Amino acid sequence: GALARQAEADGVEFRWNTAIRRIVVDGGRVNRVETDQGDVTADAFVIALGSYSPALLRPLGILLPVYPVKGYSVTIPISDAAGAPVSTIMDETHKVAITRLGDRIRAAGTAELTGFDLRLTDSRCRMIAHVVSDLFPAGGDSARAEFWTGLRPMTPDGPPVVGRTAIANLYLNTGHGTLGWTMACGSGRLISEILSGGATSIDPGGLSLDRYA
């Protein structure tokens, strides 16, 4: 909410509920992107679609090794602040991270290889909820727990893929795995530096798609 409003104030245009149909390349450059709301043209294009990035690039002959790894989370309202966590902790037995988000407790974990299936598996949900109630039995109202699942865009070696492609004006900023928010600002800065053609804050070589050649 607030982040989107700040971006709009800085000149960003969001196009909600818009499906990308294909990227059209002509003469080694992206000519346009076809969507169900009309064509989009620009000087440069950045693919930042997480686990869904490879599907858009495959027709262009770009093989991007980013794979969906399904994770779960539970969000529970705090019923007793004294019994809730005050910072992030990790349950090493179940590999579940628990943190406090204002008046809520958030727990997240698991790694499930199910392709693009976003159905909630009951056993996974119960395991994560159990971790919260086991460590903080008086902290949250488990009856009002909300479950969610999403796909982490993982690469074979761990780091994201940020940088150029073989197509002149097409760039990548994807594959951040479990650390999308953690690395968002740094990745955004790096890709903007690459786009501008100036010096970069770090050597981008280790993050480029060329490392898989």
What pLDDT sits at residue 213? 81
Q: How many residues does this entry show for the chain?
A: 213
3-state secondary structure the chain: CHHHHHHHHCCCCCCCCCCEEEEEEECCEEEEEEEECEEECCCCEEECCHHHHHHHHHHHCCCCCCEEEEEEEEEEEECCHHHCCCCCEEECCCCEEEEEECCEEEEEEEEECCCCCCCCCHHHHHHHHHHHHHHCCCCECHHHCEEEEEEEEECCCCCCEEEECCCCCEEEEECCCCCHHHHHHHHHHHHHHHHHCCCCCCCHHHHCHHHHC
Average pLDDT of span 180-203: 94
Name the band, by pLDDT with cuts 50, 70 and 90, for residue 1.
Answer: confident
What pLDDT sits at residue 176? 98
Q: Which has the closest alpha carbon to 211: 169, 162, 147, 168?
A: 162
What pLDDT sits at residue 101? 94
Q: Enter the pTM of the model.
A: 0.89
Which tens digit of pLDDT belongs to each residue from 10-65?
999 999 999 999 999 999 999 999 999 999 999 999 999 999 999 999 999 999 99
Average pLDDT of span 168-192: 96
Which tens digit of pLDDT belongs to each residue from 81-129?
999 999 999 999 999 999 999 999 999 999 999 999 999 999 999 999 9
What pLDDT sits at residue 56? 96
Which tens digit of pLDDT belongs to each residue from 51-89?
999 999 999 999 999 999 999 999 999 999 999 999 999
